[in-house]
Every structure is written in structure tokens, then in C-alpha cells.
Amino acid sequence: MRPRLLIVDPDVDSRAAITALLGRFDLEVLEAASAREMDQILGRTQIELVVMDILLPDEAGLSVCARLRRLNPAPGVVVVSAVDDESDVVVGLEMGVDDYIAKPFRPRETAARIRAAVRRRQAWRAPEPVAAPPVYQFSGWRLNVATHELFDPRGDSVNLSSAEFLVLWTLVAKPQQILTRDQLQQGPPEARSKAPPQQINVTISRLRSKLRRAEGGAQMVRTVRHAGYMFAPRVDRVHAD
């Protein structure tokens, strides 16, 4: 996806000049003439970088910069303005503005500085953390979600069908809670597949048979009449070895 930039400037000629300047690169450029128009665009579109003049008709530019920094995720901000007073520049940079360019601007330099700001924003953007698949421990048993393996208290592997694994995962993820047949059919939110519909009773019966190999295993999955099923033991969620 191409980086999307927003030019915020009340001067139509200035907006057009910056848009034309950036349009030669692999960038998507939107325009706004005021802070209000900017807010409308930000409300419906994710913007990588805002290129703005601080002389806006409806709100002080530095106030706009402060608001932009509080957004989550916050876009980058490059100021391109005829206001080049040193105190304004310093305040803007201290507020987290990525760059401050004075008008009249030099086209090639301005394009290079804006593109550099885009690259910095992309480099700073941290990847979303990926949670490790959980391992559940209960009454000496161990269910490894990553490998789809169930181990009994002696450490022996217990073979599970896909439906049995998904139903057991759903149960141990919410222990001591009543789960309906529909919830068990849907499986846990993290699962990409589902247990076959209309087979929950059969799957539960097979699970109980396999859990029965250890003492007390047959009572782990309890039937709650007219409600559903509940996994009775305490369950600890741990990291995989």
C-alpha cells in the first residue's frame, strides 16, 4: 500500500504545488484547506504524514500539531509555512514535528525532506506483537496449542482428532465457565477452523473417554443440564518450552 499523505494549507496554489511535487513519487496525496477538513479526512482515512501550514483559518497550527501527536496511531507531521520565527520552529520541533520547512520552499529539497520523513515513520512503526500459542496445564495434563498435542500426567501423548482438539481448547481456555454447544462449535477466537457442527455431544463423549486414562479424568468435562458443558479443573496458561 502506498504511503498516504495529507496536505493541509488554506492557500490553494500552495496545496497544488506540494501535491504536484509529491505526485511524481509513489505517494498518495490528499488535500484539506482547514483543520476541520483535516479532521474529517483523518476520521475516515489513515494518514502516514500530515504536511501542513501553521497559518490555518480555524485553529492555531501548533494546537493542531499537538492534537495530531495525541492520535493513535499518530501521523508524522511536517510543517511547511511562511512563519519561520525561531521560537515557533523550536516549539514545533519540541512538540514532535518531524521537520519544519520555510516558505517559499525549494521544490527538490522539500520533496527530499518530506520523503525522508515518510521513510522515518515507516522505519519507526513497530510490528504488531504476535502472541505465542499458549500451553495449558491442568491436573497434570498438558495441551500444546502450537503442536495440537495433548499429554497425560505420565507424559504420554494422547491422539486427538481435529474436532476433539478444538473442543478441548475451547473448554480449557475458559475453565469453570458454562459453554453452550454453539460456543463449542465456534471454537476459540484464535482458531482458524471449527469443530464439525451437530457433533458436539459425540466429540465430548470421545474426549471423556480419552481423559479417563488418568484418575479423575472422566469428571473433568461436566454436563450442565439445559445449558452446556463446563471444564471443572483449574487451568494454568504457560509458555511453551
pLDDT, one tens digit per residue, over 41-72 is 999 999 999 999 999 999 998 899 889 988 88
Burial of 224 (0-12, 13-18, 19+ CB in 10 A): exposed
What DSSP designation does 217 have? G
Q: Which three cell numbers stand for residue 126?
A: 513497530
Q: Kindly report, as residue ranges, where domains of CATH 3.40.50.2300 are found in the chain.
A: 4-124
Domain with CATH 1.10.10.10 in the chain: 135-238
Sheet holding 236-238, edge to edge: 157-158, 149-151, 141-144, 135-138, 236-238
CATH classification code of 4-124: 3.40.50.2300
pTM above 0.95, yes or no: no
Tens of pLDDT, residue by residue over 159-180, are 888 888 989 999 999 999 999 9
Which class would CATH give 135-238?
Answer: mainly alpha
